[in-house]
Structure 1
Amino acid sequence: MYLSARSVRFFLPLTTLCFLCLLMGQQRASAGQSNSLMDISADGKLLACSNRDSGTVTIVDLASNKKQSEIKVGKHPEGVTFLGKSHQLATAVYDEDIVVFLDADSGKITGQTEVFDEPYGVASSSDGSKIFVTLDYPGRIVEIDTHNHKVNREFSSGSHLRGIAISNDDQSLFTTEYYTALVRQIDVASGKTTDEWPGGSTDNLSRQITLHPRRAKAYLPHIRSRITVAHGAGSIFPIVSIVDTKPGEGKRRRKIPMDSFRGARVTCNPWDTAITPDGKTFFVVFAGTDELYVCNVIDDDYRELTFRSSLRLGHNPRAVRVAPDGNTFYVYNSLDFNVVAYDTQTLRPRAIIDVTENPLDEEILLGKRLFYTALQPMTSRLWISCASCHPDGQSDGRTWHNPEGLRNTQSLAGMAWTHPIHWSADRDEVQDFEHTIRGPLMQGSGLVRGKINPSLDAPNKGLSRALDAMAAYSNTHEFTLSPYAKKGLSPAAKRGRELFFSKQTKCASCHSGPFLTDSVPSAKIVRHDVGTSVDNPGEKMGPAYDTPTLLGIYRTAPYLHHGKAKTLEEVFTIYNHDDQHGNTSQLSKQELADLVEFLKALPYEDPVPQAKAAGMVKVSK
């Protein structure tokens, strides 16, 4: 095609204008594109923040940088989003299995929607007519109509979903699996997976995903859990992974190690990311080392990010968001209970906004800060914190090659009622973990001055205010009721209960009491040989093990101390050698299915009243 000088003179401005319009069309003019504990309204006037410990959502007026209102929504809210361009918003209340809708201007709840279990991430369509919510367990996406608050549909997408983002054209969802960091692209119209980007075998704890506003890129913070090395210098690594979301082009997925991103400086537990509207500046917060990295976004499909600067933050930062005009970014310091506004260019703080009062006892707050930090006196190498393996008291879904043998990470729920601790029952108080803090895994200076007592010997309780505080926090984690028993036990679960407590199976000979374990705080430590040590040739402390509680077992696969049983069925079949772990070999296929249904329904009632009635003593610290 030949263009005259005159046509070129008119053609170039026209093409430039079209290109600019294309870029503007790619930018999202509404809030709520990706999940976070914070969101900013599309007009830049309001900020919403979920306060997990308070069970509230706070609305901040950004003109004055003052708290406008705080609304009680339920136990442990997580993701929050404004709906399109409006001041309506929604939050996922993790422990109550509900999504709560609010009006930010009035500070009032406008409705709620019950979901199956553990809603975590939430993202809004550009017009605000619907939201998409990830259910951590069992790995579903729920689409909810924001006008009538009814569920339009549900579709499965892997397991343990947390991160979610919606494309600028509202046609695709991008999700992350919590325990694998696998990214999926899902067609909104059909609910079907159209593409996926697997992570490495060690990728873990991926909570959030951010989409580039102009390019086909997705960014997700997560860690690598190198289970073969139980050492502070080589177990946990901070990562930002970048996915090329345009089909068939570029390198599909690449990792940027954050522990070597700025030379020798190590960081811990990347939690949330954000990017400026012009796509040029990237932020990532590290909840373990209390800092933020400011990065340049490089459009070369090779380096991707370069380090610009860093900021020291408050305690346990869990969210970062950028204002629509790109001039200000906000960081949520979850254990200071505040949001700090920073100038995007100078990186200087503009305002500190208290979003909620500290709801925790001062001892619990100190213990929680210690539990989440990767700084001294807890660790010296900065790679790892207690929360790297037990985030919010849950499991990291991994089986570690510990010096004593394979050890499947356990949840801390109910631990205050089920001492001693560890599969080998080698700790009779949380204070004994001072040995772990000082040992090769964490390499910290410790919370006690001078010598400490051996585990299972004289108490370490009382030797240090800080150590007692960490124990007090560790013992606060509670169970939530099973989603499989919301309407009571099913007929199959009732039949399974009869089998469980029967003399035929003898399950209750060890799994007894309100917490279904004979491991209770007392002077006597009980261990049982259930034949599972033969599956782990490297075992050094078996063959007898502590009896774990069965409450909440529906969501804690894999099973057994070695983590080799992928399902509850395998516990009773492949890994129940000679019926040492209950008499189950004679069960029919239907009876085995009934037994599994009962276990999935645990807990179907609160065990604490029964424990108190039985005279059991809870360990407070």
Structure 2
Amino acid sequence: MNALRLICLSFALICASVPLLAQASPVELAQYRSPVDVALSKNGEWLVVANQSAGSISLIDTRRQVVLDELAVGKHPTAVAICLDGDHVLVSCSYSGQVSLVQVDGNTLQKKKTFDVGFEPNGLAISPDGQKAYTGLVATGEVAELDLEAGQLVRKFPVGPWPRYLTVTPDGSKLAVGCSGESKIVVVDIASGEIAYAEKLSGGINIGHLQCSADGKHVYFPWMVYRSNPISRVNIRQGWVLGSRIARVRLDGPEYREAITLDESGTAVADPHGMVISENQKRMVVSASGTHELLVYRRADLPWEGIGGPGDFIDSRLMMDKDMFGRIDVGGRPMGMAMADDSRTVYVANYLKDAVQIVDIESRKLLAEIPLAPAIEVTQIRLGEALFFDAQRSLDQWYSCHSCHYNGGVNSKAMDTWNDGSALTMKTVLPLYDVDKTGPWTWHGWQVDLNDAMHKSFTTTMQGEKVSEAEKEAILAYLKTDRSPPNPFRGSDGQLSESAQRGKAIFESSEANCAACHSGPYLTDGKIHDVGLGSDEDEYEGFNTPSLVGIYRKVRFLHDGRAKSLEDVLVDFHSPEEVSGTRALSDGELTDLISYLKSL
């Protein structure tokens, strides 16, 4: 039975067991929920789930294991958190730029307040006194602070690119933020809103959920590491391309991070995402979304390594002690988790299962699944989505498409993907939004067949098996969907600011000459140009004009990531005088042009 048929069978079995909602829901029933996060009430009697595809949250009775209510909250929910009063929850809606306060009133959900915080709010953290809440704004590199009692946005403070997840220390004095755009953990002094210190994660990408220890000494989190070695079967199997880690960073002052490796030889771990620590502090659980499993650890005596560690493979001590480490196959795509106060029952938001799973981490068993919606047709797009996030399609399951193209976008590194036939010619990861409309493909533009490009991603970049014809069509159907977030640098009606309007005129002018190549609806002419940025190691001459749509999301620019900002691009490596032989831009022109570029 091939992989596609297995996926279909899995979905069919799920759909067959789905009961009707306990009461009517304002959410369209005939769609996937795609749960990404879950929060459990203090008494353990109910939980709330954030449903990303449906733009809703679901209220679940944990004893009867049924959905009580579902409420539409906004576009692309990413996180939920329960307020200190126990009767309200917060949900961040990334594409709406909002955080909603929802009351749990018996068996129903009622929206009470919506905070407009800016794009894209992601993780949530609530202060120990319950008065303040914090969310990371991925698009602008800030943290927003909400006053829950006053019902208003209090302030924003900069932390660095892509602050997806965060947590507050038990004493409420510090905020730890995972900034994936700069591969670092930022520790913020909450009183001042200033960065106290930051700990760099060498080669770090895709930082997952953060959890503080009860004593407030450490923050724990999963992440992936990219190591700049050529993609080959040997290097992949040695963990020298991509690998998965758990790290901890001190919260009482700067000190080099400590880490453990997650990967076993032959059966690696991929796309670690969620993390919970048990009430008794004995267990730490990580969801490995790419390999469809939970990883269970005995926290007290884990072999943490600092400088020089932790090695390429999991420490042998973990492999020899089944109580210290275990893997639980739960299928689908496990994401956020919540743990009951019995320190053994874990509730898992499983995106592709469209369900909340109940797992006993001591017996290492999946006990039950609570479906979130009635049965619906398994679409081709959904099958393609499952394949995109499936690391088991790569050699020894080290990484998925998502590992490099985070949620279909980009990551923070220049990588050697081997797709241009040369080793160690690092290229920034190109986003896959509008990929069917922006050919040719690859930085050198040599790839003119999207079908073949997709095949090579699985067989060359991932060194996995070829996809079948049906799988190929499913993946391409998924990639052709509109998954891009709204642009935060435009007005609510999509209009440009005055600065961006001036920048548009500069962009189209003969002095800047940007529109000569970056033209059309996706701002690419689909042609190859030599702008003097190549090297002798390149297999091909010239570069394919990249689309500028969504360029505000990037943290590295140009094909090899040598430019760290749009200003670097325009005044140095790719300036009008260098590329077009015109003149340098004035400071005012530069500011306006950057404003326009961010609005694209």
TM-score higher than 0.5 here?
yes
| CA deviation profile, 1:513-556 (whole Å, cap 9, x unmatched) | 2222223xxxxxx32222222xx34221122x222211111221
* 1:277-292 map, 5 Å: 277-292=279-294
* 1:205-216 → structure 2 map (5 Å cutoff): 205-214=206-215, 216=217
Distance 2:582 2:356 in 1: 54
Q: Distance in 2 between matches of 1:116 and 1:225?
A: 31
**Alpha-carbon distance, 1:402 to partner:** 4.3
Q: Kindly indicate whether the alpha-carbon contact (under 8 Å) linking 2:575 and 2:584 is maintained by their aligned counterparts in 1.
A: no
Tell me the residue number matched to 1:417. Answer: 437
After superposition, the C-alpha distances for 1:550-580 in whole angstroms (9 at most, x for unaligned) are: 1111221311112112221222221137846
Distance 1:379 1:335, change over 3 A: same
**Any idea what the Cα deviations from partners look like across 1:244-301, whole Å, max 9, x if unmatched?**
33448xx7421111014xx653111111111110000111111111111111112577
Measure the CA separation in 2 of the matches of 1:357 and 1:238: 35
Q: Is the Cα–Cα contact under 8 Å of residues 186 and 193 in structure 1 kept in the other structure?
A: yes
Question: Aligned to 2:472, which of 467, 471, 483?
Answer: 467
Which structure: larger Rg?
A: 1
1:395 paired with 2:410, answer: yes
SS of the residue corresponding to residue 295 of structure 1 reads strand
CA distance change for structure 1 residues 360 and 221 in 2, over 3 Å: closer, same or farther? farther
Residue number among 350, 365, 372 corresponding to 2:389 in the alignment: 372
Whether the aligned pair in 2 keeps the contact of 1:337 and 1:357 (CA below 8 Å) is no
* 8 Å Cα contact 1:322-1:329 kept in structure 2: yes
- Whether contact under 8 Å (1:83, 1:127) holds in the other structure is no
Q: Which residue of 1 aligns with 2:456?
A: 436
Q: Distance in 2 between matches of 1:56 and 1:267?
A: 30
1:473-522 residue CA offsets vs partner (Å, 9 max, x unmatched): 12224443432222632222211111111233322122122222223xxx
Whether contact under 8 Å (2:260, 2:303) holds in the other structure is no
- Residues in 1 aligned to 2:196 and 2:370: alpha-carbon distance in whole angstroms: 42
Query: Which residue pairs with 1:350 in the alignment?
Result: 367
Distance 1:437 1:401, change over 3 A: closer
Pair 568,497 (structure 1): closer, same or farther in 2 beyond 3 Å: same
Assess if the C-alpha contact under 8 Å between 1:430 and 1:474 holds in 2.
no
CA contact (8 A) 1:320 1:331 kept: yes
Q: Distance in 2 between matches of 1:438 and 1:385?
A: 9
Distance, in Å, in 2 between the alignment partners of 1:111 and 1:552 is: 30
**Which of 473, 478, 481 does residue 476 from structure 1 map onto?**
481
Q: 2:331 aligns with which of 311, 314, 333?
A: 314
- Equivalent residue of 1:113, what SS? strand
Match of 2:83 in 1: 83
Contact 1:102 1:111 in 2 (8 A): yes
Counterpart-to-counterpart distance in 2, 1:360 and 1:396: 33
Residue aligning to 1:23: none
Q: Deviations over 1:452-474 (max 9, x none)?
A: xxxxxxxxxxxx11111011112
SS at match of 1:179: helix
2:347 counterpart residue number: 330
Task: Tell me, yes or no, if the aligned pair for 2:48 and 2:57 is still in contact at 8 Å.
Answer: yes
Equivalent AA in structure 2 for residue 422 of structure 1: T
Select which of 356, 359, 365 maps to 1:339. 356
Q: 1:98 and 1:578, CA in 2 relative to 1: closer, same or farther beyond 3 A? A: closer
1:56 Cα offset (Å): 1.5
C-alpha separation in 2, matches of 1:327 and 1:439: 40
Whole-angstrom CA distance in 1 between matches of 2:576 and 2:524: 22
In the other structure, the counterpart of 1:446 is 466
Q: What's the counterpart of residue 162 of structure 2?
A: 160
TM superposition shift of 1:215: 5.8
Does the C-alpha gap of structure 1 residues 549 and 212 become closer, same or farther in structure 2, counting only changes over 3 Å? same
The residue type equivalent to 2:506 in the other structure is L
Contact 1:506 1:583 in 2 (8 A): no
1:205·1:222 contact (CA, 8 Å) conserved in 2? yes
In the alignment, what sits opposite 2:14?
none
Contact 1:187 1:194 in 2 (8 A): yes
Q: Distance in 2 between matches of 1:308 and 1:358?
A: 36
Distance 1:356 1:212 in 2: 35
Count of paired positions: 536
1: CA distance between counterparts of 2:579 and 2:487?
Answer: 24
> How much has 1:337 moved relative to structure 2?
0.7
Hey, what does 1:552 align to over in structure 2?
550
Alpha-carbon offset, residue 145 of structure 1: 1.8
1:618 equivalent in structure 2: none
Q: Does 1:382 pair with 2:380? A: no
Q: Is the 8 A contact 1:327 1:345 kept in 2?
A: yes
Q: CA deviation at 1:76?
A: 1.3
**1:295 counterpart residue number:** 297
Structure 1 residue matching 2:135: 3-state secondary structure: strand
Identical positions, percent: 26
Counterpart in the other structure of 1:512: 519
Q: Distance in 2 between matches of 1:578 and 1:514?
A: 22
2:439 alignment partner, SS class = coil
Residue 456 of structure 2 aligns to a residue in which SS? helix
**Cα drift, residue 192 of structure 1:** 2.1
The 1-side partners of 2:53 and 2:508 are apart by 37
1:224 partner letter: V
Quote the Cα distance in structure 2 between the aligned partners of 1:279 and 1:182: 25
Q: Give the superposition deviation at 1:379.
A: 1.7
Separation in structure 2 between the aligned mates of residue 63 and residue 584 of structure 1, nearest angstrom: 71
| Structure 2 CA distance for aligned equivalents of residues 492 and 511 of structure 1 | 20
Contact 1:70–1:356 under 8 Å retained in 2: no
CA distance in 2, matches of 1:514, 1:541: 27
Q: Larger relative CO (CA 8 A, sep 6+): 1 or 2?
A: 2
Report the equivalent of 1:31.
none
SS in structure 1 opposite 2:397?
A: coil
- Residue in 1 that maps onto 2:92: 92
**2:161·2:555 contact (CA, 8 Å) conserved in 1?**
no
| Separation (CA, whole Å) in 1 of partners of 2:413 and 2:98 | 28
- Kept in 1, the 8 Å contact 2:208–2:272? The answer is no
Q: Is the 8 A contact 2:266 2:396 kept in 1?
A: no
Partner of 1:492: 499
Which TM-score applies when normalising by structure 1? 0.81
CA RMSD, 1 decimal: 2.4
| TM-score with structure 2 setting the length | 0.84
Is residue 363–residue 472 contact of structure 1 (8 Å, CA) maintained in 2?
Answer: yes
- Alignment of 1:241 with 2:247, yes or no, is yes
User: In structure 1, how many angstroms separate the alpha carbons of the residues matched to 2:88 and 2:101?
Assistant: 7
Q: Tell me how far 1:214 sits from its aligned partner.
A: 3.9
CA distance in 1, matches of 2:133, 2:580: 46
After superposition, what is the alpha-carbon deviation per residue over 1:136-176, rounded to whole angstroms, capped at 9, x for unaligned?
12221111122443101111122211121112222221111
Range 355-364 or range 313-322, more displaced: 355-364
Deviates more, 1:105-114 or 1:279-288: 105-114
Unaligned runs of 5+ in 2: 1-35, 306-314, 319-323
In 1, Cα distance between equivalents of 2:280 and 2:47? 20
Partner of 1:318, secondary structure, is strand
SS in structure 2 of the partner of residue 573 of structure 1:
helix
Structure-1 separation of matches of 2:454 and 2:435: 17
Secondary structure of the corresponding residue to residue 570 of structure 1: helix
Distance 1:302 1:419 in 2: 46
The 1:274–1:586 alpha-carbon spacing in structure 2 relative to 1, beyond 3 Å, is closer
When residues 108 and 584 of structure 1 are mapped into structure 2, their CA distance, relative to the original with a 3 A threshold, is: farther
